């Protein structure tokens, strides 16, 4: 009986923390003080600070600051018409000086260096320059990318760049999606994600979600290039009617719609990152678009365990905006 009560309490805490994390992601440019976020979570300030650190693995202030920094990297490298001061204020920092100090302490470079070395156009050039090279023949910025993609992630860069094919990509305006979700935090791989989806579908199937045109999708909320692996956030989701409310098993959120480039593909398990990189380098980099500041989706059409080759059939949904913005 005690174990059941403890589980219910943990589920309630999880739901409140997920609500708070979602709020931070959606309002990172606002004043996110302890009093405000404790109200969102429906905890006292004292208990909220302690529970957040115990369950998320970092303090509330550290989490908010990290999300703001990660948002700033996206804006620095794509919103080139905005000044660094504008981006600092847009991301919730009090001043450009405070922003620059925190940014350099966290990433080991200044915001201006990040913008100069890793803006969208230069990133594409540097990535293409990795083809057929070893690290000794690369410039420092290229060597950094080589370390990450080739050594750390063991991505077949030459193979990806050799494709150079026109991927079958369509542009669509997707609507807002009302979803039930279970959140995981950790590496983006099948071992981490599959149990979360199994848990979600155990909730969904008895409720007829597989019979009413519901979609199973994953929301990629973090950028693994700049987010520590143990802090990567992934939401296993299933679309549900608006009448469905959060309960002790799942939470509810609305995923924002907008313009997306959609790449339909069939891949081996744990080859998502390779498919995304091929999508970006072999289609997006030659298009009139750049990534937008919204979460990426993966819409799933099968269970790879039932596929004869253990393949995953899915849509990679990338939020985009025109290059001229």
Residues 295-316, mean pLDDT to the nearest whole number? 93
Residue 137: pLDDT band by 50, 70, 90 thresholds?
confident
- At 119, the pLDDT band (50, 70, 90 cuts) reads confident
Report whether 259 contacts 275 (CB < 8 A).
Answer: no
Report the percent of the chain where pLDDT is more than 70: 95
Greater model confidence, 243 or 324: 243
Q: 281 and 161 in contact (C-beta within 8 Å)?
A: yes
pLDDT tens digit sequence for 190-249: 899 999 999 999 999 888 877 668 899 999 999 888 899 999 999 999 999 999 988 888
* pLDDT (tens digit per residue) in 273-290: 999 999 998 899 889 998
What was the pLDDT predicted at 165?
60
- Decide: 251 and 19 in contact? Cβ < 8 Å: yes
Q: Which residues of 47-56 are buried (b: 16+ CB within 10 A; e: fewer)?
A: ebbebbeeeb
Distance CA(286)–CA(121), nearest Å, equals: 11
Whether the pLDDT of residue 159 is over 50: the answer is yes
Percent of the chain with pLDDT over 90: 62
Check pLDDT > 70 for residue 127.
yes
Q: What average pLDDT does the structure give for the chain?
A: 90
Q: How far apart are CA 126 and CA 178, in angstroms?
A: 38
Please give the backbone phi and psi of residue 172, each rounded to the nearest 5 degrees, phi first: -140, 150
For 21, 23, 76, 233, the CA distances from 27, given in Å and listed in that order, are 10, 6, 18, 17
Predicted TM-score (pTM) of the model is: 0.89
pLDDT exceeds 90 at position 183: yes
As given in the structure block, the two tokens for residue 81 are 């018409």
Q: pLDDT tens digits, residue range 76-117?
A: 988 888 999 999 999 999 999 999 999 999 999 999 999 988
| SS3 per-residue string spanning the chain | CHHHHHHHHHHHHHHHHHHHHHHHHHCCCCCCCHHHHHHHHCCCHHHHHHHHHHHHCCCHHHHHHHHHHHHHHHHHHHCCCCCHHHHHHHCCCCCHHHHHHHHHHHHCCCHHHHHHHHCHHHHHHHHHCCCCCCHHHCCHHHHHHHHHHHHHCCCCHHHHHHHCCCCCEEEEEECCEEEEEEEEECCCCHHHHHHHHHHHHHHHHHHCHHHCCCCEEEEECCCCCCCCHHHCEEEEEEECCCCCCCCCCCEEEEECCEEEEEEEEEEECCCHHHHHHHHHHHCHHHCCEEECCCCEEEEECCCHHHCCCCEEEEEEEEEEEECCC
- Residue position matching structure tokens 């990152």: 273
Q: Which fold has domain 170-322?
A: Multidrug-efflux Transporter 1 Regulator Bmrr; Chain A (3.20.80)
- As a CATH number, domain 2-113 is 1.10.10.60
**44 has pLDDT over 60:** yes
Angle between helix axes 111-118 and 60-78 (nearest 10 degrees) is 40
Q: Which position has the token pair 């990290």?
A: 66
Is residue 2 over pLDDT 50?
A: no
Q: How far apart are CA 282 and CA 161, in angstroms?
A: 7
Within 13 Å and on the Cβ side, how many CA atoms surround 7? 6
**What is d(CA 250, CA 292) in angstroms, rounded to the nearest whole number?**
28
**pLDDT at site 235:** 97
Sign of the alpha-carbon torsion through 132, 134, 136, 141: positive
* pLDDT for 293: 82
State the Cα–Cα distance between residues 248 and 229, nearest whole angstrom. Answer: 27
Cross-strand bridge partners of residue 311: 268
Alpha-carbon 192 to chain mean position: 15
Task: Report the alpha-carbon distance of residue 98 to residue 289 in Å, rounded.
Answer: 32
Q: For the chain, which residues make up each domain, given as ranges?
A: 2-113, 119-163, 170-322
């Amino acid at each position: 009986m005690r174990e059941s009560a403890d589980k219910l309490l943990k589920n309630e805490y999880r739901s409140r923390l997920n609500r708070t994390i979602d709020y931070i992601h959606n309002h990172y440019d606002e004043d996110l003080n302890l009093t405000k976020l404790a109200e969102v979570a429906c905890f006292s300030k004292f208990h909220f600070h302690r529970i957040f650190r115990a369950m998320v693995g970092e303090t509330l202030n550290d989490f908010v600051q990290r999300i703001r920094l990660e948002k700033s990297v996206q804006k620095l490298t794509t919103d080139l018409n905005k000044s660094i001061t504008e981006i600092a204020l847009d991301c919730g920092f009090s001043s450009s000086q405070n922003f620059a100090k925190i940014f350099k302490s966290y990433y080991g470079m200044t915001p201006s260096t990040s913008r100069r070395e890793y803006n969208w156009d230069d990133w594409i050039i540097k990535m293409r320059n990795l083809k057929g090279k070893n690290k000794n023949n690369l410039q420092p910025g290229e060597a950094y990318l080589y370390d990450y993609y080739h050594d750390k992630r063991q991505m077949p860069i030459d193979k990806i760049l050799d494709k150079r094919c026109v991927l079958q990509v369509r542009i669509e305006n997707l609507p807002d999606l009302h979803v039930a979700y279970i959140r995981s935090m950790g590496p983006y791989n099948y071992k981490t994600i599959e149990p979360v989806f199994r848990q979600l579908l155990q909730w969904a199937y008895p409720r007829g979600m597989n019979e009413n045109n519901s979609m199973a999708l994953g929301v990629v909320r973090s950028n693994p290039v700049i987010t520590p692996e143990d802090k990567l956030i992934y939401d296993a989701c299933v679309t549900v009617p608006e009448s469905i409310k959060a309960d002790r098993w799942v939470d509810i959120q609305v995923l924002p719609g907008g313009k997306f480039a959609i790449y339909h593909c069939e891949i081996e398990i744990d080859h998502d990152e390779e498919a995304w990189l091929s999508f970006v380098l072999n289609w997006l980099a030659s298009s009139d678009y750049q990534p937008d500041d919204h979460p990426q989706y993966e819409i799933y059409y099968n269970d790879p365990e039932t596929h004869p080759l253990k393949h995953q059939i899915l849509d990679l949904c990338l939020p985009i905006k025109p290059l001229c913005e």
